[in-house]
Structure 1
Amino acid sequence: MTYSLRGRLFIGLALLIVSTGLGAGLVGFRWAFDEAIETQDTILHQIGAIALNTRLPSDAPINAGVDAEARVFVEELGDRPSGSTDARSLWTLKDGLHIVSRDNQPWRILLRTRPDGSRFVIGQTTAIRDEIARDSAFHTILPFLALAPCLMLVIAIVVWQSLRPMIKLAGQLDARRSDDLGKLSLEGTPLELHPFIASINRLLERIHAMMEQQRRFVADAAHELRTPITAISLQAENLSQTELPPDSRDRLTALKSGARRTAHLLEQLLALARSDMDRMPEAPVTSLDRCAKEVVADFIATASDRGVDLGFEIIEPAAVKGEAAMLTSVIQNLLDNALRHTRQGGRVDIGVYREGAKVILQIDDTGPGIPPCDLERVFEPFVRGSRPTEEGTGLGLSIVKRIVERLNGSVTLENVPKSGLRATVSFPLVEQGS
């Protein structure tokens, strides 16, 4: 089961803030409500202190409002019980604050007696008082309610920024070449990631040691096998000089062919091991067009024997950074692959040219091409595709890809309609003299 650490942090912090905010809001609302009620009681006392020395006219209406917003009402009761039943019932109460029922609704009243014996009452309906208190309490917590979304946004930004180093680290790992097993730097990374980075570095060290051991084994095995294979080839050549029956001659031919394939395989294994070695710190600048001319000159005889027209379609002066031996190996393997799959009477055209800031090596053949399902797989070691030839080892294209990537280039294969296969290698352009 997968989950998002960023999502968990955001949800957890958001729930904490929301729950804390709700609790604080309820407490704040209740506190502000009670304060508003007390303030209104204070207003009744203040109005009572004023009315204590000011007698209202006897003909004033019973609910003459003195504050339109607070809806506070003052009523003169006179110096003896009179008037309505509600007014007479107030004479039974002592001076002070009371809650009574008047006009079939609850009222909060302040009853006072003047020095001359007259009494008066100041009151508000509890509904009005509660409405005023609720409005006051709501305005008290309104800033917090408006702040909550801002806090959520800040939390999201903080969580995203806090986890950004992990995303950056993952991007650095993804951008690395497959053969780059150098240690990850701790510089500029948060302390919490240091144990994780240290673990990755230890894993990279173990992988590097394992790959080095594998490379040495392949190189040593191939090197040790070259001597007996060379001896077998020499003995087969010597044996071919003697008179042999036709049946033995056929077996000798098969032996020589097998020895050649084995020797070619060993050479490819050695080339693969060399291509996996650590890159030189500063590669020299090499003329790619010169390497291509030399390789084509070596393959002219082979192409002629197979009846294949081999030549340059375009060739321009172009320099790239890389060892001449590595570039030669790339061209040799691509040409060998093209000639092996091109039928008699076909063509293999080579192009070396500039394209913007790139140098392009292009090799077209008129062979059958590669099935689309194999276009990517053929770059894997020992994968020969669904139409293998007897002479192939399945290592040539793998060697090409590793060398090209080591030189910061790229290689692609594509089937050209009604033509054959096109191999395109791209290298960064280096200006002569740089």
Structure 2
Amino acid sequence: MSEGLPRKLRYVFVLQAVMASFVIVIGFYFVGMFVKDALIGGRVQDEADRYWAVIERHPEFPLPRNPNVNGYFVPSEAEPNGEGVPPEYLPLEPGLHDLPGRVKLLIDERPQGRLYVSMSFPLVDRVVFWAGLVAIAMALLAIAAVSWLTYRSARRLVAPVDWLAQEVSSWDPREPDTDAIDARHMPGHPGREVQQLGNALRDLAERTRQFVQREREFTRDASHELRTPLTVIRVATDMMRADPDTPEKLRKPLQRMQRAGQDMEAVIDAFLILAREAEATAPLDEFDACEVAWESAEKARRLLDGKPVELDVVCDASPRLLALPRVLSVMLDNLLSNACNFTEEGRIEVRVQADRLVVTDTGIGMSAETLQRVYDPFYRADQFGAGGKGMGLSIVHRLGERFGWPVALQSAPGEGTTATIDLTKHLA
């Protein structure tokens, strides 16, 4: 329980206790100062009032003198620099003054004369200090006790939620262990809301598992079923094109049929790979990236029949990869299919480097707006032009994200397109 909500709660309660303690200490300090000033000021004023009251009846009554209080009196008819009065008192105006050495001085002027009463207050300081210290200590202990009890109660409340989060985070997405979050296994005393959350997560996980399973089975079955008629179409068109008796006017439609069939086979291969999540844990093969590039280029040349376009493979290096060769082949097939579809003349180059594979063409290129949406399924800038159906780059992007081969595109209208597959992750 050292992670997640309990730890955050602990931080919150500790911060709350520290802030409350700080406010209490500051508050007691200022209250203590106010109380001390009020006590000393009142005591000095009482001494002065008592002296004035007594001398009206007994003019010879002595001035207040004790270890903490000193009094000085200057009659009205006397010199203004009264005898015995400390010199630093004389320039001061009537009223209450704070002097160095923690001395409070009251100057009370009446028709009879001017009375000086000074008082030092070490005892009051000690009393106020210890009283404040005891009060602060009690308040801090009370805050600590209340914060601890509140934290323990809150921790017990969030413990089932924290446990639930840890259990769900350890699920295998393909086979979530929904029985593990049954209310009977939850720690503490989960409330009705936590039990409802657990039941909702179990239902959601089960529905998601069933949905993924249905989608995977449908994609796999549909893809396999589509392979048979596509194979028949490819074989039949190959035979018709090879037959010398086939009319010339049929050769171009046959070529288009072959191109469409090849595009469909690439899409089916990609869907099969994406549909099989278990494929990511299948045994990996070590292979040469240049061999894959040559094979894909050989297949793509059929798409250039009749076009004044050169398709070359340049191997600056021969990196060996530890991965699924079919994935890289499907990605490269789709990139070359796009390049062939949108390049009417010039050159298409597949360049294999030490850590990347670059496909460059001299085709029509793409605008910045098109590049922003180029990975959207079925998106095409030219809805009525020649080419694919807008799935190729979407498939390449999804495969790259899934298997760790990110794809980057650079393009400009009329300047062609450059696609880069980063091979760093799976270098052998």
Q: With the length of structure 2 as denominator, give the TM-score of the two structures.
A: 0.55
Instruction: Give the superposition deviation at 1:424.
Output: 0.6
Counterpart Cα distance in 2 of 1:130 and 1:104: 28
Q: Which amino acid aligns with 1:413?
A: L
The equivalent of 1:381 in structure 2 is: 377
The CA RMSD measured in Å over matched residues stands at 6.1
Distance 1:297 1:232, change over 3 A: closer
Establish whether residue 334 from structure 1 lines up as the match of residue 335 from structure 2. yes
Counterpart secondary structure, 1:321: strand
Counterpart Cα distance in 1 of 2:426 and 2:325: 14
Instruction: Give the superposition deviation at 1:394.
Output: 2.4
Instruction: Give the superposition deviation at 1:136.
Output: 3.8
Distance 1:197 1:256, change over 3 A: farther
Distance 1:24 1:370, change over 3 A: closer
Counterpart Cα distance in 2 of 1:232 and 1:327: 25
The equivalent of 2:300 in structure 1 is: 299
The equivalent of 1:308 in structure 2 is: 309
Counterpart Cα distance in 2 of 1:287 and 1:238: 33
Counterpart Cα distance in 2 of 1:306 and 1:366: 13
Instruction: Give the superposition deviation at 1:132.
Output: 5.5
The equivalent of 2:66 in structure 1 is: 66
Establish whether residue 423 from structure 1 lines up as the match of residue 401 from structure 2. no
Per-residue deviation, residues 378-419 of structure 1 (Å, max 9, x unmatched): 323333345674340322223322332333221111116873
Counterpart Cα distance in 2 of 1:221 and 1:332: 21
Distance 1:239 1:292, change over 3 A: closer
Per-residue deviation, residues 36-91 of structure 1 (Å, max 9, x unmatched): 98xxx9xxxxxxxxxxxxxxxxx9972342223xx388xxxxxxxxxxxxxxxxxx
Report 1:23-102 matches (<5 A): 62-68=62-68, 71=69
Instruction: Give the superposition deviation at 1:365.
Output: 0.8
The equivalent of 2:92 in structure 1 is: none
Q: Which amino acid aligns with 1:275?
A: L
> Are the aligned partners of 1:286 and 1:324 in contact in 2 as well (CA < 8 Å)?
yes
Counterpart secondary structure, 1:310: strand
Report 1:22-421 matches (<5 A): 62-68=62-68, 71=69, 135-136=128-129, 140=133, 203=204, 206-228=207-229, 257=256, 261=260, 264-265=263-264, 267-277=266-276, 278=278, 279-303=280-304, 305-344=306-345, 346-354=346-354, 359-386=355-382, 389-415=385-411, 419-421=415-417
Q: Which amino acid aligns with 2:264?
A: L
Q: Which amino acid aligns with 1:348?
A: I
Counterpart Cα distance in 2 of 1:134 and 1:332: 90
Q: Which amino acid aligns with 2:288?
A: S
Structure 2, unmatched stretches of 5+, are 1-5, 44-58, 72-107, 111-116, 181-185
Q: Select the structure of larger CA radius of gyration.
A: 1
Q: Which amino acid aligns with 1:67?
A: P
Counterpart Cα distance in 2 of 1:141 and 1:422: 77
Counterpart secondary structure, 1:305: coil
Q: Which amino acid aligns with 1:411?
A: V
Counterpart Cα distance in 2 of 1:61 and 1:361: 111
Instruction: Give the superposition deviation at 1:367.
Output: 1.2
Q: Which amino acid aligns with 1:390?
A: A
Structure 1, unmatched stretches of 5+, are 42-58, 74-102, 106-123, 174-178
- Identical pairs, percent: 21
Per-residue deviation, residues 298-322 of structure 1 (Å, max 9, x unmatched): 3345446321121134431101221
Counterpart Cα distance in 1 of 2:247 and 2:285: 55
> Are the aligned partners of 1:286 and 1:319 in contact in 2 as well (CA < 8 Å)?
yes
> Are the aligned partners of 1:350 and 1:364 in contact in 2 as well (CA < 8 Å)?
yes
Counterpart secondary structure, 1:381: coil
Counterpart secondary structure, 1:285: strand
* Residues matched between the structures, number: 327
Counterpart secondary structure, 2:423: strand
Counterpart Cα distance in 1 of 2:414 and 2:139: 69
Counterpart secondary structure, 2:281: coil
Q: Which amino acid aligns with 2:327?
A: M
Counterpart Cα distance in 2 of 1:232 and 1:409: 32
Counterpart Cα distance in 2 of 1:197 and 1:145: 43
> Are the aligned partners of 2:24 and 2:136 in contact in 1 as well (CA < 8 Å)?
no
Per-residue deviation, residues 89-133 of structure 1 (Å, max 9, x unmatched): xxxxxxxxxxxxxx899xxxxxxxxxxxxxxxxxx9999899769
Distance 1:348 1:243, change over 3 A: closer
Per-residue deviation, residues 259-284 of structure 1 (Å, max 9, x unmatched): 86366335513431223312134422
Instruction: Give the superposition deviation at 1:353.
Output: 1.1
Distance 1:402 1:299, change over 3 A: same
Q: Which amino acid aligns with 2:311?
A: L
Counterpart secondary structure, 2:220: helix
> Are the aligned partners of 2:368 and 2:412 in contact in 1 as well (CA < 8 Å)?
no
Per-residue deviation, residues 4-58 of structure 1 (Å, max 9, x unmatched): x979x959974997499769977x979x979x98xxx9xxxxxxxxxxxxxxxxx
Q: Which amino acid aligns with 1:280?
A: T
Counterpart Cα distance in 2 of 1:378 and 1:191: 50
Distance 1:347 1:257, change over 3 A: closer
